[in-house]
Chains A and B, each alone.
Chain A
């Protein structure tokens, strides 16, 4: 058997993503919307297909062969994800429907039991709506208070302001690891250390991190970590919540049903152990298998390869876009992931998005579910190109070419 590790490189991995060969409006697809959803490699599709064509059955409840195989594959997926984020125990990895669902789990289970009137929750200006809305809801219910870490002009968190927001009433810090709009990589290890110094737990929204950089939850020290399958080469409808066992064990279940119980009578329920306590009902089995496979794909490819390629793409895109007259990049933090948000003088991002689409270039335009951040920069929308390891410099050239065409139309 040849060493798979030697075969899979950033240069070769593009072949694993068949969708990248399609055409859009008669032009070759240039897919630069990876922060919204990344594409799936054949290996993940194969795992998906395998489940459906060979052992599709429910998990954790059948004595028959198919059910056992499905259970094993799903638990193998959990183990792959545990390895990906280096959790101490696979029991600390809970399958959810995505990052949003994971944050809502913490809000409903941990938040509703731990947060009291007058307590404070710290977020930042650059949070995705999914890390704002649940906490706003909780604060409304509990008469608690949201505190917001400001963002600098470059798109970095103001850590001095953060320090001064930490108070005896702080109950939680919930912070994005990598901003989906700015690309900023936040110093979550330091943020966690500062919170822990005051006994405050930390949730990290890792939706944009896991497919781009090594994540070690034990090294970060965070209490919770959330991620989505569809942003890490896996399927939609699946995600994970990592939680330290000490928290998860104390937290009440948030959804009731099958699978999350040990025994049920009309008078008393005995809840199942971790992680099943938080996985009521039939899970997204195919999704869990696919997401596990995606984790293996990432580990086989290796973050060194990924980061080398993405850094090159980021630098190249930044340089090429900056050279276009009238383009201003939003988000110029020192530590950045391969995301470039920009505005163009006198042209609305939606018009740019439509014209780029005619040229086969897929980007995201709008507020990227970060309205408070947009407001911070006095904008309603940006155009965002977000890269993945399978993207190529030539695609950045096509983006820039299409952008110049768009500008010509409007000048």
Chain B
């Protein structure tokens, strides 16, 4: 029997995105790119994206490896952000960050989080918050033109 705490974060959708990550490839050429590294876990990802003249993210992909939470988060992030404007994407970054840190309850205040609320459970796992947010920080850094982020 799966413990309820286990199922709170390792939901089927997270396990599925971990097993078959979406947009899991190098984007070449890419207008924006950054590397993200969590030195504590050894999680390492690259996020790549292209943005058109009207500010719409036309393509966003990632490569790299790490734990299930970080990989599923990167996979779901790329699926959610494709087709969004940069402004919308940045807003989601902030909302996701707030949720992961326990500062936003997606049940009462879902904002634009939608399916991403499966990651709400990490707020009870302080050691894993950085796993869920790593790809988002990397995306944010790529947009800002910073090539590298680490979560420490």
Binding site for B on A (CB under 8 A): 25, 347-351, 354-355, 358-359, 366-367, 374, 380-381, 405, 408-410
Contact = CB atoms under 8 A, between A and B. Distances in A.
Given A355-B10, A359-B3, A366 B68 contact: no
A366 B39 CA distance: 9
A380 B42 contact: yes
B6 interface: yes
A354 B9 contact: yes
Interface in B9-26: 9-10, 15, 18
B131 A409 contact: no
Given A366-B41, A381-B41, A410-B15, A355 B6 contact: yes
B10 A350 contact: no
Contacts of A374: 42
Interface in B22-46: 40-44
Nearest to A408: B2
A350 B9 CA distance: 13
A351 B3 contact: no
A305 B137 CA distance: 51
Given A358-B3, A409-B10, A366 B67 contact: no
Contacts of B69: 350-351
Interface of B: 2-3, 5-6, 9-10, 15, 18, 40-44, 65-69, 125, 127-128, 131
Contacts of A348: 41, 66-68
Contacts of B65: 380
A358 B1 CA distance: 13
Contacts of B128: 350, 354
A398 B131 CA distance: 27
21 contacts: A348-B67, A349-B67, A350-B41, A350-B69, A351-B10, A351-B69, A354-B127, A354-B128, A358-B3, A358-B6, A366-B40, A367-B42, A380-B43, A380-B65, A405-B2, A405-B3, A409-B2, A409-B6, A409-B10, A410-B18, A410-B68
B125 A354 contact: yes
A409 B15 CA distance: 8
Contacts of B44: 380
Q: Is the interface of A mostly helix, strand, loop or mixed?
A: helix
A374 B42 CA distance: 10
A348 to B, nearest CB: 4
Nearest to A379: B42
A381 B40 CA distance: 9
A125 B104 CA distance: 45
Contacts of A351: 10, 67-69
B123 to A, nearest CB: 14
A349 B68 CA distance: 10
Contacts of B18: 410
Contacts of A354: 9, 125, 127-128
Nearest to B40: A366
A2 to B, nearest CB: 45
B37 to A, nearest CB: 10
A301 to B, nearest CB: 33
B120 to A, nearest CB: 15
Given A381-B42, A408-B2, 10 more contacts: A349-B67, A354-B127, A354-B128, A355-B6, A355-B10, A367-B42, A380-B42, A380-B44, A405-B3, A410-B10
Contacts of A25: 3, 5
A366 B18 CA distance: 19
A343 to B, nearest CB: 12
A172 B15 CA distance: 50
A387 to B, nearest CB: 22
Nearest to B2: A409
Nearest to A409: B10
Contacts of B131: 350
The 4 closest A-B pairs by CB, nearest first: A380-B42, A348-B67, A350-B67, A358-B5
